[in-house]
Amino acid sequence: MAKPENLVLMAIIGGPHGIRGEVRAKPYGDEPLKLGNYGPLVDDKGRTFKVLAVRPAKNVVVMRLEGVSTREAAEALNGVSLFIDRAQLPDDLLDEDEFFQTDLVGLAVHDAEGSDYGKVLAVHNFGAGDILEIAQPGKASVMIPFSDAAVPEVDMDARTVLVEPIAAGLIDVDDEEVSGGDEGSDGDEGR
């Protein structure tokens, strides 16, 4: 199977569970016990994994994967991210104001005044929250927080992301602008 182009992260394999090849995995999504319902999962190298069984275990799931029958084989999968192609997910899973992170890639980024900041290149999470990587025309890509303050609106119909450039760190603010309103105020008012 060729590696899908538009991947959605479904789970990350942790350590083995027991001696018969089962693995613990951190699931993503609202229904982790349905990991096997979407067909084979794929890793970032293009390897496919058919889920034979899934069961809950505290804050993770335990999975049995086809072809993984020993503890050693399960240990070799530690840290492997499992994906499915976006096309395998039905759109009716989402509420009106929801979207998959992969759907953000390629959206145009602009501010309320219409200034163009490029396109969403990727969505990252290094542990402190989601970050949008923006590819800017003729410049190096930049990363901005994917927060309500920095990104007040995502319009999937228009395929745009509205940013607040100061909150997103896309523009520099001079010290004088930050102090706000003190210009011309030297204490001589009212004389």
For residues 15 and 79, membership in a common domain is answered with yes
Of 32, 60, 87, which residue is a domain's last?
A: 87
The neighbour count for residue 79, using CB atoms within 10 Å, is: 9
| 20 occurs within a structural domain | yes
- Asked if 17 and 24 count as a contact pair (C-beta separation under 8 A), the reply is yes
Q: Specify the pLDDT at position 91.
A: 67
Joined together, the tokens standing for residue 188 give: 């001589």
Joined together, the tokens standing for residue 64 give: 């049995």
Q: Specify the pLDDT at position 178.
A: 44
Q: Specify the pLDDT at position 2.
A: 52
In single-letter form, the type of residue at position 45 comes to K
For residues 107 and 77, membership in a common domain is answered with no
* Domain tally, the chain: 2
| 109 occurs within a structural domain | yes
pLDDT digits (tens, 9 = 90+) for 81-138: 998 888 777 766 667 777 778 889 899 999 999 999 999 998 888 878 889 999 988 8
d(C-alpha 46, C-alpha 44), whole Å: 6
CATH value at residue 113: 2.30.30.240
Q: Specify the pLDDT at position 190.
A: 45
For residues 15 and 64, membership in a common domain is answered with yes
Q: Specify the pLDDT at position 4.
A: 55
| 178 occurs within a structural domain | no
For residues 124 and 164, membership in a common domain is answered with yes
For residues 73 and 28, membership in a common domain is answered with yes
Query: CB neighbours of 180 closer than 8 A, spacing ≥ 6?
Result: none
pLDDT exceeds 70 at position 183: no
Joined together, the tokens standing for residue 51 give: 């889920």
Joined together, the tokens standing for residue 125 give: 């999470």
Sort 6 into a burial class: Cβ within 10 Å, 0-12 / 13-18 / 19+.
middle
Average pLDDT over residues 179-190: 46
For residues 71 and 107, membership in a common domain is answered with no
Query: Residue 149: which domain range?
Result: 101-169
Q: Specify the pLDDT at position 129.
A: 85
Q: When comparing pLDDT for 63 and 34, which is higher? A: 63
d(C-alpha 140, C-alpha 65), whole Å: 41
Joined together, the tokens standing for residue 2 give: 């060729």
| 177 occurs within a structural domain | no
- Asked if 8 and 102 count as a contact pair (C-beta separation under 8 A), the reply is yes
Joined together, the tokens standing for residue 98 give: 């929801």
> What is the value of pTM for the model shown?
0.61
For residues 79 and 46, membership in a common domain is answered with yes
| 1 occurs within a structural domain | no
pLDDT digits (tens, 9 = 90+) for 126-181: 878 889 999 988 889 999 999 999 999 999 889 999 999 999 988 877 644 444 44
pLDDT digits (tens, 9 = 90+) for 4-24: 567 888 899 999 999 999 999
pLDDT digits (tens, 9 = 90+) for 71-83: 999 999 999 999 8
d(C-alpha 145, C-alpha 130), whole Å: 6
